[in-house]
Amino acid sequence: MPSYKAPLENIHFVLHEVLDVAQVAALPGYEEATPDLIDQIIEEGAKVCEEVLFPLNQSGDAEGCLYENGVVRTPKGFKEAYRLFCEGGWPGLVADPQYGGMGMPHVVNCVLQELICSANMSFGMYPGLSEGAYRALYLHGSQEQKDLYLPKLTTGEWSGTMCLTEPHCGTDLGLIKTKALPNDDGSCNITGTKIFISAGEHDLADNIVHLVLAKLPDAPEGSRGISLFVVPKFLPRQEGGQVKPGARNGVSCGSIEHKMGIKASATCVMNFDNAQGWLVGEPHKGLKAMFTMMNAARLGVAMQGLGIAEVAMQNGLNYAKERLQMRALDGAKAPDKAADPIIVHPDVRRMLLTSKAFTEGARALSYWVGIELDRAHKHPDPAIRQEADDLVALMTPIIKAYQTDMGFEAASLAMQIHGGHGYIWDYGVEQYARDARIAMIYEGTNGIQALDLVGRKMGQSYGRLLRRFFHPVGAFIETHQNNLQMQEFIFPLAKAVAKLQQLTASVAMKGLKDSTEAGAASADYLRMFALVALGYMWAQMALVAQEKISAGAGGRVGFYDSKLKTARFYFARMLPETEAHFRKAMAGAESLMELEAANF
């Protein structure tokens, strides 16, 4: 049977010792988010994930969702777990107190998302989609829409969705056919079919608030003609001063998908048949509003990759310590036993350390982006808000793509460590590979993330976004380049950064002449960028570990020593991958594009 324990010591290390999360409490509106309160919230969240959500993960996968005559039932135990989740106030963790939320920083939500995704990724889809709907309405909805829907989304009484994809179009949303015909009362009748709608229908909440992309009759062609509408499953009505679900709207679930993974998450075909909806924001500006949801969702999906990697690694490590097979190459390590535990073998250690170096580095990177998101929203200085927003925009496609790629790889490595037992259901790790695979696809495939990075983020404002990353990294290198203890990390990091800057200039120049050149380099460029970013995180963690060990480590020498040795593994075995990605990206588009499609 699989197991999971929230990695609280590692979480606290990143938040307090590497990133100094106390800085968040200095931001207006976050004064109550002291380090002590943040720790209390995280520890309570860890209990919910370990004791309530994780025990339902494997059984939910086995049972899946049941669809009958337009009704979707979630697996046994999910309704009770969702009720407890809502009673704890977790759906409103970062929601505005004006609408009943806790008003906590986004970085705290990053931690909770990681914990939920490790414990039960399918369950996390339901509140995750609601959070995106909340954010879109909060930023783009009318005051009437906010007052009507946000309190319900905050408590979890109502849940939310984002309805983009149609049978004939996914990434190219300009091709959507869903129509919105205006009514005299200011509403619109929405007609069309949406597919791959996560949490589109279920039995957890009293109502489901769909945010739907559609086109008005006077819409321009392409993506410039898309509008966003809020379309509730049940039309809200007032009763005794309270908002309650009223008459059924023209929204129905046509079917649910039978999927490779996240089987306890209902992925629905949603039919809108003259459903009453209301415009969110301005006409024909729906894509901008929907991107509010998509960018938040991409950060959430990045945490799915991290969460799956963590739980997969934990189970691979547990198995490697217990499974006895052969003797160590340099002699028996457990002579009292019939064989040594497989953790003594170099290749098993390679797999474990790859997962460990990724998860701990990605955790630091994700939480850094979370803190910058808080600065972007709350800092009193507009210039600092802009800088932070730039960094978040730059890093979003990078962490979404890299962390989901590596989440799947970590799950695959855990299966490999288990050998044949990893391929069967009983041990649980094959589920992690199945669940992780979708994260590389939805909210924009990882190839689309790479195109977003080179096509939009790289050249935006003459490279302003790139400077938000290169400047702090360069400053860190300059500050510590004469520290003898840090040279084993600083020199390879400086070399990798210089190579990344060289590649950036090359891709930008080639892309100006031929956009295909930028597209051909994009995937390798993104992967190289991610590896350098993790190198920056690991250099910072190594610095903290060295300082703590020099100061006596407070009885935690083993913990900090583990950080140093994992940092050395990363710099010796993972950062060098940047050289290969550099060469592939520099190779140009010709080898990719010269073969005629007919001759494949």
DSSP letter string over 320-337? Answer: HHH-B-S--TTS-S-TTS
Q: Give the list of residues 6+ apart from residue 87 with CB closer than 8 angstroms, or none.
A: none
Residues in the chain, overall count: 600
Contact status, residue 317 vs residue 5, Cβ threshold 8 Å = no
Cα angle value 73/77/83 (rounded, 5°): 90
Contact status, residue 234 vs residue 219, Cβ threshold 8 Å = no
Reading the block at residue 256, the tokens are 């649910």
Which is it for strands 158-163 and 207-214: parallel, antiparallel or unpaired?
parallel
Cα angle value 209/434/65 (rounded, 5°): 45
Query: 56: closest CA among 431, 421, 567?
Result: 431
Cα angle value 470/474/476 (rounded, 5°): 125
Contact status, residue 241 vs residue 218, Cβ threshold 8 Å = no
* H helices present in 482-514, as ranges: 487-513
Tell me phi and psi for residue 323, to 5 degrees: -75, 125
Among candidate residues 114, 360, 430, 443, the one labeled active-site is 443
3-state SS record for 30-87 = CCCCCHHHHHHHHHHHHHHHHHHHHHHHHHHHHHCCEEECCEEECCCCHHHHHHHHHH
Contact status, residue 576 vs residue 54, Cβ threshold 8 Å = no
DSSP code, position 169:
B
Q: Give the list of residues 6+ apart from residue 190 with CB closer than 8 angstroms, or none.
A: 178, 179, 180, 212, 214, 229, 231, 250, 272, 274, 275, 276, 277
Instruction: State CA 273 to chain mean position distance.
Output: 33
Query: 110: closest CA among 293, 375, 306, 387?
Result: 306
| Active-site residue, 517 included | no
Exposed / middle / buried, residue 77 (Cβ in 10 Å: 0-12, 13-18, 19+): middle
Q: Which residues are catalytic?
A: 443
